[in-house]
């Protein structure tokens, strides 16, 4: 059982092999996720909503992220693990370095994820120049929810799409080694995936990205307000958590998830 590293993911992109990613926040689910053959685990700050019951990801602290990352890392054996840099933990390059240091040294994460484009480029460069592997995050940025005014598709207009494409190039140039694209039109996601050398992982971004990520609780249907339209409830079909996780990995690898019904026009 060889460990998944960024080299594995780069090889998968080159070979057109889809990358399966899911969020996890604890040891119990992580064991089942690894059993299903997941390539990457994201300890997302979505934990603020699905685990802690907040209305957004904003209240999540660095201590919370370190705690949940350590829970995952304690049992993880094969998947590559990325930890989110929470809201207000990366306002300056020095603060970001301190946060990333804690997520990697205390939490054990292999990579950190940071939301945002142009305003983050100096910070991303600061981190990557100091041996911190970084995953960018563009499109719908949940930490900017009060600026955006709601959870909706980003990059529909020509100018917005150009800005996201430019930010994607900028993040790659600043040293980011992966990119998450959240809720952008599928054609824009396809263009960015084709243009970049680094693996691009989509959520609500169509089927053309190098891989897919879902929030674990969404794909298991464990949500109070129903699941977003770009998510499939894999537990409803499979009947067990292990079955749902295996079905998700299989569907991503086969390129059948997301289908047209999960894709924004």
Angle formed by the axes of helices 158-173 and 121-128, to 10°?
20
Count the neighbouring beta carbons within 10 Å of the beta carbon of residue 155: 25
Kindly state the greatest CA–CA separation across the chain: 47
How far apart are alpha carbons 70 and 75 in whole angstroms? 9
Contacts of 231 (CB under 8 A, 6+ apart): 214, 215, 218, 219, 262
212 near ligand KIV (CB under 6 A): no
203 near ligand KIV (CB under 6 A): yes
Task: Compare residues 23 and 89 and give the one whose CB is closer to ligand KIV.
Answer: 23
> In this structure, are residues 22 and 219 in contact, taking their beta carbons and an 8 Å threshold?
yes
The residue range among 5-13, 42-50, 151-159, 221-229 that interacts with ligand KIV, by the rule CB under 6 A, is 42-50
Residues 1-40 that bind ligand KIV (CB under 6 A): 23
The least CB distance from residue 158 to ligand KIV, in Å, is 25
45 near ligand KIV (CB under 6 A): yes
The least CB distance from residue 84 to ligand KIV, in Å, is 5
Task: Compare residues 146 and 159 and give the one whose CB is closer to ligand KIV.
Answer: 146
Give residue for tokens 């996780």: 245
* Bond preceding residue 258 cis, omega within 30 of 0: yes
Candidate list 17, 182, 191, 194, residue with the active-site label: 182
Task: Compare residues 104 and 216 and give the one whose CB is closer to ligand KIV.
Answer: 216
- The structure tokens listed for 14 are 């080159």
Among 124, 168, 184, 215, binds ligand KIV (CB under 6 A): 215
Q: Strands (DSSP E) along the chain, which ranges?
A: 19-23, 40-43, 80-84, 111-115, 134-139, 178-182, 200-203, 211-214
Task: Compare residues 23 and 69 and give the one whose CB is closer to ligand KIV.
Answer: 23
- The structure tokens listed for 153 are 């598709």
User: Is 182 annotated in the active site?
Assistant: yes
Task: Compare residues 46 and 89 and give the one whose CB is closer to ligand KIV.
Answer: 46
Beta strand pairing status for 80-84 and 134-139?
A: unpaired
210 near ligand KIV (CB under 6 A): no
209 near ligand KIV (CB under 6 A): no
167 near ligand KIV (CB under 6 A): no
114 near ligand KIV (CB under 6 A): no
Catalytic residues: 182
Give contact residues for ligand KIV (rule: CB under 6 A): 23, 42, 44-46, 84, 180, 182, 203, 213, 215
């Amino acid at each position: 059982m060889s460990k998944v590293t960024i080299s594995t993911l780069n090889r998968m992109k080159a070979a057109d092999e889809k990358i399966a990613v899911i969020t996890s926040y604890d040891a119990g689910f992580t064991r089942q996720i690894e059993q299903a053959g997941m390539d990457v685990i994201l300890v997302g700050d979505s934990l603020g909503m699905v685990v802690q019951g907040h209305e957004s990801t904003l209240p999540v602290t660095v201590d919370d992220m370190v705690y949940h990352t350590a829970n995952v890392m304690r049992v993880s054996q094969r998947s590559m693990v990325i930890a989110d840099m929470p809201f207000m933990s990366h306002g300056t390059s020095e603060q970001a370095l301190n946060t990333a240091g804690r997520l990697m040294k205390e939490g054990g994460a292999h990579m950190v994820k940071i939301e945002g484009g142009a305003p983050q480029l100096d910070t991303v460069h600061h981190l990557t120049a100091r041996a911190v592997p970084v995953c960018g995050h563009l499109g719908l940025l949940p930490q900017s929810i009060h600026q955006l005014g709601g959870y909706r598709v980003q990059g529909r207009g020509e100018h917005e799409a150009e800005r996201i494409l430019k930010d994607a190039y900028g993040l790659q140039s600043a040293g980011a080694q992966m990119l998450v694209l959240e809720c952008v039109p599928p054609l824009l996601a396809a263009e960015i995936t084709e243009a970049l050398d680094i693996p691009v992982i989509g959520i609500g971004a169509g089927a053309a990205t190098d891989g897919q990520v879902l929030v674990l609780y969404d794909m298991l249907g464990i949500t109070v307000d129903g699941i977003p339209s770009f998510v499939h409830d894999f537990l409803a079909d499979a009947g067990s958590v292990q079955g749902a996780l295996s079905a998700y990995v299989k569907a991503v690898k086969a390129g059948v998830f997301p289908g047209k019904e999960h894709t924004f026009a």
